[in-house]
Amino acid sequence: MVKSSTQTVTLEEFLEFPETKPTKEYIDGQIVTKPMPRGKHSIIQGTLVSAINNTLKPQKIGLALPELRCTFANRSIVPDIAVFSWNRIPVDDNGDIANIFNSYPDWTIEILSPGQNQTLVTGNILHCLNNGSSFGWLIDPESRSILVYPCNQQPQLLDSSSDIIKVPNIFSDFKLTVGELFSCLKI
Amino acid sequence: MVKSSTQTVTLEEFLEFPETKPTKEYIDGQIVTKPMPRGKHSIIQGTLVSAINNTLKPQKIGLALPELRCTFANRSIVPDIAVFSWNRIPVDDNGDIANIFNSYPDWTIEILSPGQNQTLVTGNILHCLNNGSSFGWLIDPESRSILVYPCNQQPQLLDSSSDIIKVPNIFSDFKLTVGELFSCLKI
In this prediction the pTM is 0.87
> Considering the domain B36-183 in this protein, what is its CATH number?
3.90.1570.10
CB burial readout B159-177, b (16+ within 10 A) else e: beeebebbbbebbeebebe
| Lowest mean pLDDT across A32-41, A72-81, A83-92, A99-108 | A32-41
A contacts of B140 (beta carbons < 8 Å) = 117, 119
Is there a contact between A3 and B144 (Cβ–Cβ < 8 Å)? Answer: no
Distances in Å between the alpha carbon of A24 and those of A79, B40, B45? 11, 28, 34
ipTM score of complex:
0.79
> Considering the domain A35-183 in this protein, what is its CATH number?
3.90.1570.10
pLDDT string in tens for chain B (187-residue length): 445 545 589 999 999 999 988 999 999 899 999 998 889 999 999 999 999 999 999 999 999 999 999 999 999 999 999 999 999 999 999 989 999 999 999 999 999 998 899 999 999 999 999 999 999 999 999 999 999 999 999 999 999 999 999 999 999 999 999 999 999 998 8
CB burial readout B57-94, b (16+ within 10 A) else e: eeeebbbbbbebbbbbeebbbbbbbbbbbeeeeeeeee
| Cα–Cα distance, B141 to B172 (Å, whole number) | 24
**Residue B187, SS3?**
coil
**pLDDT tens, residue by residue, A76-90:** 999 999 999 999 999
B contacts of A122 (beta carbons < 8 Å) = 147, 155, 157
> What φ, ψ does residue A76 adopt, rounded to 5°?
-130, 105
B contacts of A118 (beta carbons < 8 Å) = 118-119
For residue A110, the Cα-to-chain-centroid distance in whole angstroms is: 5
Mutate to test the interface with A, among B3, B77, B125, B154 (most CBs of A within 10 A): B154
pLDDT at A167 over 70: yes
The closest of A66, A73, A88 to A26, measured between CA atoms, is A73
Q: To 10 degrees, what angle do helices B118-129 and A118-129 make?
A: 50
CB contact under 8 A, A147 and B120: no
DSSP assignment letter at A86: G
CB contact under 8 A, A119 and B112: yes
Q: How far is B97 from chain A (nearest CA, A)?
A: 32
**Residue B49, SS3?**
helix
B contacts of A112 (beta carbons < 8 Å) = 119
| Cβ-nearest to B129 among A112, A151, A154 | A154
Instruction: Give residue A58's region: left, alpha or beta (phi > 0; psi -120 to 50).
Output: alpha
Is there a contact between A139 and A167 (Cβ–Cβ < 8 Å)? Answer: no
**Residue A31, SS3?**
strand
CB contact under 8 A, B119 and A118: yes
| Cα–Cα distance, B182 to B161 (Å, whole number) | 9
CB contact under 8 A, A129 and B157: no
